[in-house]
Structure 1
Amino acid sequence: MWMKLVPVTALFATVTMTTPAHAAQGPIGGDMLGKRGLVHPAGVKVPPKTKATSYVIADADTGQVLAAKDAHGRYAPASTLKTLTAETLIPKLDRTLKVKPSANAVNQEGSAVGLTTKAIYTVDDLFKGLLLCSGNDAAVALAETNGGMGRTLSDMNAEARRLQAKDTVAKTPNGLDKPGQLSSAYDLALIARAGLKNPDFRRYVSLKSAKFPAPKGKSYEIGNHNKLLWRYKGMIGVKNGWTSKALGSFVGAATRGGHTIIVTIMRYDGSFWNEVASLLDWGFAARGKVQPVGQLVDPIPDQQAVTPPSALAQEPLKTPMLGAAAAKQTDASRTVGGVVIGGGLLFGLAWLGFGIRRRRASRP
């Protein structure tokens, strides 16, 4: 496959390595975003250094990409993929609907909000569990509520195509590593920008904490894993993630002076919070003053939305158990969770027991 080298212009400081174009017309969002190295406007201070393999800084209001590094590099997204799950399903599901999770959902590995197989949850509760404490169990329960794993993955990939997030392939609703499941810093910015236009999505990712139902009419408090909600002025929130294969990833947005900046990073080894804050600061200082290096494109109108290509074909309509390797995976922090061997909507098994297990934080 041939590679296209884009000439360096006087407007930009950049490197000359490239990634393959998505199509003959070049990378989505502009040719400069096909570069693997740092791409930033000339005439302003270079963005702060970061250990992230890939990142994007964008103006959410205009869609202008202010700086980027390997914007279209395709990497495992970890739990930042839950932003696509939420962005896809929030408009589809009645948030007042009562849900009885299956045994499969309850027994998901990694980060969990602590579901049981009792019908004590609303869809609204499950979205809180998904986006605050990154519940892998909540993600599967939402997929089941949407008609099953196959249908939900098809919907997620169709939504990615509609948003023109062409680097993204979803093979789970929760981001646990699976071969072929990929996204990019550019696509995560597209998904976050679209999600933030939905008031419910914005409300969920902005919550610092929430009460979550427990059996016998009780509840417990769950907290948001996004530490910048407490540390960074104007932080809206969005989502962080981590697995041993994906390393750290983050999608964040903040508003100051009536303007919103989005920062996405992928493949970060270590604690990224301070560096993300510095990238946000740079974005606020640069917005409206520089020539952008690219553009977050608009979604394809619904009537023109394309069907995912056969290469991205999803699994049969079934609810598979996500692999045992997931036991070694978690998000950026662990949370109070519960696992129950129990009967669910799809399996009709008898409810056997309830227990809450605590998982201590293992990553930033």
Structure 2
Amino acid sequence: MSIRRHSRHAPVRLAAVLAAGLTALAVGSYAPAPGPANAQPPTTTTPFTTPNTDDCAQKTSPPPAIDTSEAPEPGQSTPGALAIPDPPVGGKRLGGCGLVVPPDSARIPEGISATAWMVSDLDSGKVLLAKDPHGRYRPASTIKVLLADVALRKLDQNKVIVGTQDDANADGTRVGIGPGGRYTNRQLFQGLIMASGNDAAHAIATQLGGDEATVALMNARAKELHALDTRAATPSGLDGPGMSTSAYDLSLIFRDAMTLPLFAELIHTEQVDFPGFPANPKDPDDKDHPGFMIANDNHLLYEYDGALGGKTGYTDDARQTFVAAAQRNGHRLAVTLLKADVLPFRPWEQAAKLLDYAFAMPSGVSVGSLPGSDSNSTDLTASAVAVATPPMDHVEAHNDGSGNNARLILIGGGLVLVVLLLAVASRLGRRR
């Protein structure tokens, strides 16, 4: 892996996270929310096996929920499964549920615990390799990319809004918005994208007409992009009835968001000052809760040479989710991971392995494309969307994703200190 061998950012990031946590605790905004999905899980000793998706179990919908987070409100029902496009969006090969790789490819790197993943070219739109690319999984906070893609086009980034108690009470991870605090939309997007703040998502959604209206805008945008495996149920990525996306769709949505300069800037920003808020909301000059520093929670940004940034996510039902991009030798590649775990590597490390593999692939190879690209994209019409009956025929590929990659290197002992520092920060009880 092309891992940076320095840790100069780690103490600063840790200090920023601790400072934000102490400030937020003053109003309870970092107190763990009730329910089972409270925090990033610790690494366990459960034996690791690469998930096998050859049975197309998630062709229609995500795995069953393990808690009540997706229970519909009284009087409402869970939406039915989204229609399955036929032919598959992006090309016939992407309809496969197992590994989808070019012929005669080297073995996929060991240690990829993500159940579904994909690597694509941000510029050409070519899909280089994938696993269960259209399988449906929960996005967790990676759906904030879709929220940003919608809201950045509609909101004035210089407009100042006043934080509310409803913002501060948002469930899950919060950047630390307080009632009476004054924030520009640009600062709200910093809190949304860099720190995965559900309070920032709430403040943004309020300006778009509330959660229900915002979800409708997000789903309309997904359809415009031909992200037909995607249905948002909440603006923040907290699980809700009918929520789903796919590795393919997340790549597509991320590629669209990367055309927005502010989005591309913020996912690449390491740290920034965030405003405080008054103890007495009626007195905006009362700065009892001073400003603090927030740090980008995407470790790939700090540790991988050429990283452009990305977005992380986690809930108990979604598990670890991740989308990011990196640049090397004039090529910009994006990688998405869904339903991953921290074993045997953290998600950003799994992403780094896949990026290294894809950067080393011969020029011009692909297994499909993203809509709107110049590489055999699928022309979607209303008649092209139909429900297909899984399982579909498997494509030729390695079934277990195991094997050695001679280009991978072991992380030296000098990185241990960085891991320990990051572990402290991750145990602050934040849920994405």
- Aligned equivalents of 2:233 and 2:431: distance in 1? 24
Aligned residue among 74, 90, 98 for 1:37: 98
- Conserved in 2, the CA contact under 8 Å of 1:17 and 1:35? no
**Partner secondary structure for residue 190 of structure 1:** helix
Aligned residue among 118, 121, 132 for 1:59: 121
- Conserved in 1, the CA contact under 8 Å of 2:173 and 2:430? no
Deviations 1:294-351 (A, max 9, x none): 111129xxxx999xx9xxxxxxxxxxxxxxxxxxxxxxx9999xxxxxxxxxxxxxxx
Q: How does 1:119-134 map to 2 (within 5 A)?
A: 119-134=181-196
C-alpha deviation, 1:152, in angstroms: 1.1
Matched, 1:116 2:171: no
Percent same amino acid at aligned positions? 39
Tell me the amino acid that sits aligned with residue 83 of structure 1: V
With over 3 angstroms needed to count, the CA separation of the structure-2 counterparts of 1:77 and 1:293, relative to structure 1, is same
- Conserved in 2, the CA contact under 8 Å of 1:76 and 1:245? yes
Tell me the amino acid that sits aligned with residue 100 of structure 1: V
- Aligned match of 2:215: 153
Number of matched residues?
Answer: 300
C-alpha deviation, 1:103, in angstroms: 2.4
Aligned residue among 360, 365, 372 for 1:298: 372
- Aligned equivalents of 1:17 and 1:288: distance in 2? 31
With over 3 angstroms needed to count, the CA separation of the structure-2 counterparts of 1:125 and 1:24, relative to structure 1, is closer
- Aligned equivalents of 1:98 and 1:335: distance in 2? 34
- Aligned equivalents of 2:165 and 2:423: distance in 1? 21
With over 3 angstroms needed to count, the CA separation of the structure-2 counterparts of 1:305 and 1:151, relative to structure 1, is farther
Tell me the amino acid that sits aligned with residue 196 of structure 2: S
Tell me the amino acid that sits aligned with residue 126 of structure 1: L
C-alpha deviation, 1:33, in angstroms: 1.0
C-alpha deviation, 1:119, in angstroms: 4.3
Q: How does 1:1-364 map to 2 (within 5 A)?
A: 19=59, 25-49=86-110, 50-215=112-277, 216=286, 218-270=290-342, 271-286=346-361, 288-290=363-365, 292-298=366-372, 360-361=428-429
- Aligned equivalents of 2:230 and 2:302: distance in 1? 30
Q: Which has the higher strand share?
A: 1
C-alpha deviation, 1:264, in angstroms: 0.2
- Conserved in 1, the CA contact under 8 Å of 2:159 and 2:185? yes
With over 3 angstroms needed to count, the CA separation of the structure-2 counterparts of 1:361 and 1:232, relative to structure 1, is farther
**Partner secondary structure for residue 286 of structure 1:** coil
Cα root mean square deviation, aligned: 2.8
- Conserved in 2, the CA contact under 8 Å of 1:334 and 1:361? no
C-alpha deviation, 1:150, in angstroms: 2.2
- Aligned equivalents of 1:305 and 1:89: distance in 2? 27
With over 3 angstroms needed to count, the CA separation of the structure-2 counterparts of 1:147 and 1:335, relative to structure 1, is farther
Higher relative contact order by CA 8 Å / sep ≥ 6: 1 or 2? 2
**Partner secondary structure for residue 72 of structure 1:** coil
C-alpha deviation, 1:44, in angstroms: 2.8
After TM superposition, the structure 1 stretch with the greater mean CA deviation from structure 2, 51-60 or 103-112, is 103-112
Task: Point out where structure 1 has 5 or more consecutive residues left out of the alignment.
Answer: 1-14, 310-332, 337-357
- Aligned equivalents of 2:357 and 2:338: distance in 1? 18
Deviations 1:218-272 (A, max 9, x none): 4210011100111101101110111111100000100112210010010012122
With over 3 angstroms needed to count, the CA separation of the structure-2 counterparts of 1:362 and 1:201, relative to structure 1, is closer
- Conserved in 1, the CA contact under 8 Å of 2:163 and 2:182? no
Deviations 1:45-94 (A, max 9, x none): 13323111000011111111111111011111100010000011101000
TM-score, normalised on structure 2? Answer: 0.65
- Aligned match of 2:394: none
Deviations 1:76-122 (A, max 9, x none): 11000100000111010000111123322210121100111214101
- Aligned match of 1:5: none
TM-score, normalised on structure 1? Answer: 0.76
- Aligned equivalents of 1:225 and 1:89: distance in 2? 21
C-alpha deviation, 1:25, in angstroms: 3.5
With over 3 angstroms needed to count, the CA separation of the structure-2 counterparts of 1:24 and 1:197, relative to structure 1, is closer
Tell me the amino acid that sits aligned with residue 151 of structure 1: A
C-alpha deviation, 1:40, in angstroms: 0.3
